[in-house]
């Protein structure tokens, strides 16, 4: 599901806002140099002292975090050449990003990668990007101005004790920059072979006792290709505008208000099941349109006694439509409060309360039928975590618990225990044990879908009639659970070398899988006559995973930075029944993720005005050869050369996927999209900051 910028009013609005920025007076201060200039000028010590806020919902130095954390900085994003948030997430170990086409991705952490990966919680400034309809993230709908991202904190492993349900395998928090750090104006424009055209602007100004920025972006992306090399129907274009303001208020309160509005249109080709077709499907071009926005406010203050408190609220509303298939209108309201209190010198306590209410209106036709048409969802939660100092500056124990109750699957406790040993400032050893749950989605609980047709006389169907496979709503689908165990070690070996290693072992129970309802029965409607096989989801699968993730940061020379990462994942899923549909769903889990991934990034500042970046990546195969889920291993190379003729103006040339003309990265899942392949691409980008 994707976006597009075919709305001329949206384009005109962007041009008018850009013109207003160009006509506004410049700030009296000398503008700072573009951000990308400092990437390899930062010392390793500075990089390791970056403050992490997502692991324990408080500011911590990286070396003090008792979790597998990787930070993607804005310099990393700029120098990678990535043009979207999913592409930037490839920079982190343990993250599997598979591009399904030019407008959709499958993104997961530590396994279970699918079109809507349902075991990963993604936040932007603390706002959940999790889709209640599909139990995953619609990456083509969620976006922001990449230049405004301060950092992306990627936490691998269960994070439910702090962030709640669906933080099963990890938490990704996209943190945007403060408004005071984005003063002045920024214009970005470019074009290329796959990135047909893109442009964005930003303007920051002082307002009262604080600062405000406004921004907008738009782009049009070309189609990818089919395995046969024919042009696909997955073009994508989108427009988005937003703002953020930060103010100091009376009584020590710090207020942040932000908001966005977006509109997009994108294409896809579905292989729609058809009992009248000799192949069992009819290729059908579809369009997806998405529009909506959100408004969020956050207040942070320090109550008497030196404690810290924060209250955050947002309302989000959006519409997602695939004409002829499904349309969802949803409004969500979310409240979150947290309070941090220090008790003596040994206890650092954080507790909080949360409430979310979401209501939808869904209409569906054709192969999809979702009932009831209107449904509401509520989730109430409370959490507490105590960080206990056992040995000052050396040994700490963290005990946490989150209690949640939701209207879909009821009550769920999610505990967490962590310990961290820091014998020196430059090294730490940590371990954890956690439990997390994944709540069923609206579509899982209420959708009836014609999933596939097995043609008559084909393998798997020796009968003279086609077999229609229909997914029916489940009778009693509950939470999926994981119990996770981790251990990690990180160390700075000197001023030019650091390493971070994490090992994990996870046990999954009550995973959703398909179960057949009896034998196929004869059906006369809709014509022609056929056999109907009904299947439904039940909690009948289980799995275990184990693996290791390694990240190294090395400065062989002051102007040269090298970042190798490696991830190993072993996933074994099985069914608790012998039902063929259940066995097939378990096998699909086994074939969804590569066992090996590695990446090598090289960033060089050739001079004060020239930068050269190289990114070599390898992703292992999916499935087994001959299987419908098989995707061969691939290795790809991205290159970026940037030249700054003046202090405030930069030109960059980026080449992506340079080692082959096209390659597949995954197969379609959940929605019947055609399998596509990703092409080699180039683009030229101009950036002017003033």
Please count the other Cβ atoms lying within 10 Å of the Cβ belonging to residue 682: 16
Residue 381 in contact with residue 403, Cβ under 8 Å? yes
415: containing domain: 8-177+369-375+390-676
Check whether 204 has a pLDDT greater than 50. Answer: yes
Check whether 17 has a pLDDT greater than 50. Answer: no
Taking alpha carbons only, the member of 91, 90, 65, 203 closest to residue 147 is 203
Percent of the chain with pLDDT over 70: 93
Check whether 25 has a pLDDT greater than 50. Answer: no
CA–CA separation, 643 and 470 (whole Å) = 56
State the total domains in the chain.
Answer: 1
Mean pLDDT in residue range 3-7: 34
- The pLDDT value recorded for residue 7 is 35
Q: Measured in whole angstroms, how far is the alpha carbon of residue 85 from the centre of its chain? A: 7
Q: Which of 15-29, 40-54, 258-272, 658-672 has the lowest mean pLDDT?
A: 15-29
pLDDT digits (tens, 9 = 90+) for 94-117: 999 999 999 999 999 999 999 888
Structure tokens at 457: 């006389």
CB contact burial 606-626 (16+ within 10 A = b; e otherwise):
eeeeebbbebbbebbebbeee
Q: Would 225 be classed as within a structural domain? A: no
Check whether 27 has a pLDDT greater than 60. Answer: no
Check whether 6 has a pLDDT greater than 80. Answer: no
Percent of the chain with pLDDT over 90: 83
Which residues make beta-bridge pairs with 204? 184, 213
Nearby residues of 400 by Cβ (< 8 Å), 6 or more positions away = 161, 162, 383, 384, 385, 386, 415, 416, 417, 418
- The pLDDT value recorded for residue 627 is 86
- The pLDDT value recorded for residue 43 is 65
Taking alpha carbons only, the member of 658, 679, 652 closest to residue 616 is 658
Taking alpha carbons only, the member of 551, 550, 547 closest to residue 568 is 547
Residue 655 in contact with residue 638, Cβ under 8 Å? yes
Check whether 2 has a pLDDT greater than 50. Answer: no
**What SS3 state is found at 78?**
helix
Per-residue pLDDT band for 305 (boundaries 50, 70, 90) equals confident
Structure tokens at 669: 């899942």
- The pLDDT value recorded for residue 671 is 86
CA–CA separation, 334 and 127 (whole Å) = 9
- How far is CA 682 from each of CA 83, 228, 304, 413, rounded to the nearest angstrom? 12, 22, 56, 49
- The pLDDT value recorded for residue 41 is 53
- The pLDDT value recorded for residue 29 is 34
Check whether 9 has a pLDDT greater than 70. Answer: no
Please count the other Cβ atoms lying within 10 Å of the Cβ belonging to residue 587: 17
Residue 203 zone, left/alpha/beta (φ > 0; ψ -120 to 50; rest): beta
pLDDT digits (tens, 9 = 90+) for 583-618: 999 999 999 999 999 999 999 999 989 999 999 999
DSSP per-residue letters across 340-406:
EEEETTTEEEEEEEEEEEEEEEEEE-TTEEESSSEEEEEEEEEEEEEEEEEETTTEEEEEEEEEEEE
CATH number of the domain within which 478 lies: 2.40.170
Which residues make beta-bridge pairs with 641? 612, 653
Q: Would 243 be classed as within a structural domain? A: no
Taking alpha carbons only, the member of 554, 580, 549 closest to residue 566 is 549
Residue 3 in contact with residue 238, Cβ under 8 Å? yes
Element (H, E) at 74: helix 74-80
Q: Would 309 be classed as within a structural domain? A: no
Residue 461 in contact with residue 526, Cβ under 8 Å? no
Q: Which of 129-143, 483-497, 560-574 has the lowest mean pLDDT?
A: 129-143
- How far is CA 416 from each of CA 107, 430, 676, rounded to the nearest angstrom? 25, 13, 41
388 burial via Cβ count (<10 Å: 0-12, 13-18, 19+):
middle
- The pLDDT value recorded for residue 49 is 73
Per-residue pLDDT band for 40 (boundaries 50, 70, 90) equals low
Check whether 298 has a pLDDT greater than 60. Answer: yes
Q: Would 551 be classed as within a structural domain? A: yes
Q: Would 450 be classed as within a structural domain? A: yes
- The pLDDT value recorded for residue 12 is 34
Q: Would 637 be classed as within a structural domain? A: yes
Check whether 19 has a pLDDT greater than 90. Answer: no
- As a whole number, the mean pLDDT across the chain is 91
Check whether 441 has a pLDDT greater than 80. Answer: yes
Rounded to two decimals, the pTM is 0.91
CA–CA separation, 324 and 142 (whole Å) = 23
- The pLDDT value recorded for residue 21 is 35
Taking alpha carbons only, the member of 421, 388, 537 closest to residue 476 is 537
Check whether 295 has a pLDDT greater than 50. Answer: yes
CA–CA separation, 556 and 562 (whole Å) = 8
Taking alpha carbons only, the member of 501, 608, 598, 583 closest to residue 549 is 501
**What SS3 state is found at 453?**
strand
Taking alpha carbons only, the member of 236, 286, 293, 281 closest to residue 105 is 236
DSSP per-residue letters across 459-493:
TT--SSS-EEEEEE--SS---EEEEEEEEEEEEEE
- How far is CA 73 from each of CA 38, 56, 94, 199, 256, rounded to the nearest angstrom? 11, 19, 17, 22, 21
CA–CA separation, 163 and 43 (whole Å) = 32
Taking alpha carbons only, the member of 39, 32, 31 closest to residue 640 is 39
CA–CA separation, 543 and 507 (whole Å) = 6
Check whether 403 has a pLDDT greater than 70. Answer: yes
Q: Measured in whole angstroms, how far is the alpha carbon of residue 15 from the centre of its chain? A: 30
Residue 61 in contact with residue 51, Cβ under 8 Å? yes
Residue 565 in contact with residue 546, Cβ under 8 Å? no
DSSP per-residue letters across 165-197:
TT-SSEEEEEEEPPGGGS-EEEEEEEEESSEEE
Q: Would 626 be classed as within a structural domain? A: yes
β-strands 281-301, 254-273: how paired? antiparallel
Check whether 48 has a pLDDT greater than 70. Answer: no
Mean pLDDT in residue range 64-78: 95
Mean pLDDT in residue range 53-80: 93
Q: How many CA atoms lie within 13 A of 666 on its CB side?
A: 27
Q: Would 244 be classed as within a structural domain? A: no
CA–CA separation, 5 and 133 (whole Å) = 24
Per-residue pLDDT band for 669 (boundaries 50, 70, 90) equals confident
Mean pLDDT in residue range 226-230: 95
Taking alpha carbons only, the member of 81, 129, 197 closest to residue 617 is 81
Q: How many residues does the chain have?
A: 690
- The pLDDT value recorded for residue 188 is 98
Residue 498 in contact with residue 492, Cβ under 8 Å? yes
Mean pLDDT in residue range 201-228: 96
Nearby residues of 557 by Cβ (< 8 Å), 6 or more positions away = none
Check whether 173 has a pLDDT greater than 70. Answer: yes
554 burial via Cβ count (<10 Å: 0-12, 13-18, 19+):
middle
- The pLDDT value recorded for residue 252 is 86
Q: Measured in whole angstroms, how far is the alpha carbon of residue 40 from the centre of its chain? A: 27
Which residues make beta-bridge pairs with 227? none
Mean pLDDT in residue range 504-517: 95
Q: What is the dihedral of CA 579, 582, 584, 590, to 10 degrees?
A: -130
Structure tokens at 611: 């930068």
CA–CA separation, 448 and 439 (whole Å) = 19
Residue 383 in contact with residue 351, Cβ under 8 Å? yes
């Amino acid at each position: 599901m994707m976006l597009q910028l075919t709305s001329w009013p949206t384009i005109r609005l962007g041009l008018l806002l850009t013109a207003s920025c160009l006509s506004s007076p410049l700030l009296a201060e000398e503008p700072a140099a573009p951000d990308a200039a400092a990437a390899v000028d930062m010392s390793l010590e500075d990089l390791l002292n970056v403050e992490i806020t997502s692991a324990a919902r408080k500011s911590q130095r990286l070396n003090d975090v008792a979790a597998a954390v990787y930070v993607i900085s804005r310099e990393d994003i700029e120098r990678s050449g990535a043009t979207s948030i999913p592409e930037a997430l490839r920079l982190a170990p343990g993250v599997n990003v598979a591009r399904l086409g030019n407008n959709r991705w499958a993104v997961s952490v530590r396994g279970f990668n699918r079109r809507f990966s349902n075991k990963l919680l993604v936040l932007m400034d603390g706002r959940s990007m999790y889709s209640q309809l599909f139990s995953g993230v619609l990456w083509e709908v969620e976006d922001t101005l990449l230049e405004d991202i301060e950092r992306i904190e990627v936490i691998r492993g269960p994070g439910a004790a702090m962030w709640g349900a669906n933080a099963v395998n990890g938490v990704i928090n996209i943190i945007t920059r403060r408004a005071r750090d984005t003063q002045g104006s920024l214009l970005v424009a470019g074009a290329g072979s796959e990135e047909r055209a893109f442009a964005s602007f930003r303007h920051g100004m002082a307002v009262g006792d604080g600062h405000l920025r406004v921004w907008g972006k738009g782009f049009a992306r070309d189609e990818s290709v089919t395995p046969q090399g024919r042009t696909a129907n997955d073009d994508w274009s989108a427009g988005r505008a937003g703002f953020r303001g930060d103010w100091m208020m009376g009584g020590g309160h710090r207020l942040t208000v932000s908001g966005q509005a977006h509109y997009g249109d994108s294409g896809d080709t579905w292989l729609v099941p058809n009992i009248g077709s000799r192949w069992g499907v009819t290729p059908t071009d579809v369009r997806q349109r998405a529009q909506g926005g959100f408004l969020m406010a956050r207040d942070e203050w320090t109550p008497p006694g030196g404690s810290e408190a924060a209250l955050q609220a947002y309302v989000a509303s959006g519409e997602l439509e695939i004409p002829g298939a499904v349309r969802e209108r949803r409004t969500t309201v979310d409240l979150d409060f947290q309070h941090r209190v220090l008790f003596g010198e040994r206890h650092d306590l954080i507790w909080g309360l949360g409430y979310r209410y979401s209501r939808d209106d869904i209409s569906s036709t054709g192969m999809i039928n979702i009932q009831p048409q209107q449904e509401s969802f509520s989730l109430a939660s409370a959490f507490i975590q105590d960080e206990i100092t056992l040995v000052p500056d050396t040994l700490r124990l963290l005990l946490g618990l989150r209690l949640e109750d939701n209207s879909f699957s009821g009550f769920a406790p999610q505990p967490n225990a962590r310990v961290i040993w820091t014998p020196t400032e430059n090294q730490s050893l940590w371990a954890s044990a956690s439990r997390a749950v994944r709540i069923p989605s609206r579509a899982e609980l209420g959708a009836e879908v014609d999933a596939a047709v097995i043609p008559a006389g084909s393998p798997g169907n020796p009968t003279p009639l086609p077999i229609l496979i229909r997914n029916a709503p489940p009778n009693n689908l509950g939470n999926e659970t994981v119990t996770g165990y981790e251990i990690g070690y990180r160390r700075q070996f000197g001023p030019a070398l650091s390493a971070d290693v994490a090992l994990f072992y996870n046990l999954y129970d009550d995973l959703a899988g398909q179960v057949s309802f009896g034998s196929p029965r004869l059906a006369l409607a809709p014509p022609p006559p056929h056999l109907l096989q009904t299947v439904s989801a039940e909690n009948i699968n289980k799995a275990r995973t184990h693996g290791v993730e390694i990240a190294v940061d090395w400065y062989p020379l002051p102007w040269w930075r090298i970042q190798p990462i490696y991830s190993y994942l072993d996933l074994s899923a099985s069914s608790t029944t012998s039902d063929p549909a259940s066995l097939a769903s378990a096998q699909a889990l086994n074939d969804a993720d590569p066992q090996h991934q590695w990446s090598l990034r090289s960033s060089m500042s050739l001079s004060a005005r020239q930068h050269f970046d190289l990114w070599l990546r390898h992703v292992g195969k999916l499935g087994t050869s001959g299987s419908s889920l098989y995707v061969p291993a691939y290795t790809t190379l991205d290159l970026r050369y940037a030249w700054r003729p003046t202090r405030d103006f930069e030109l960059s040339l980026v080449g992506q996927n340079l080692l082959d003309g096209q390659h597949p990265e995954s197969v379609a899942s959940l929605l019947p999209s055609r399998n596509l392949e990703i092409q080699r691409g180039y683009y030229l980008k101009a950036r002017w900051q003033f």
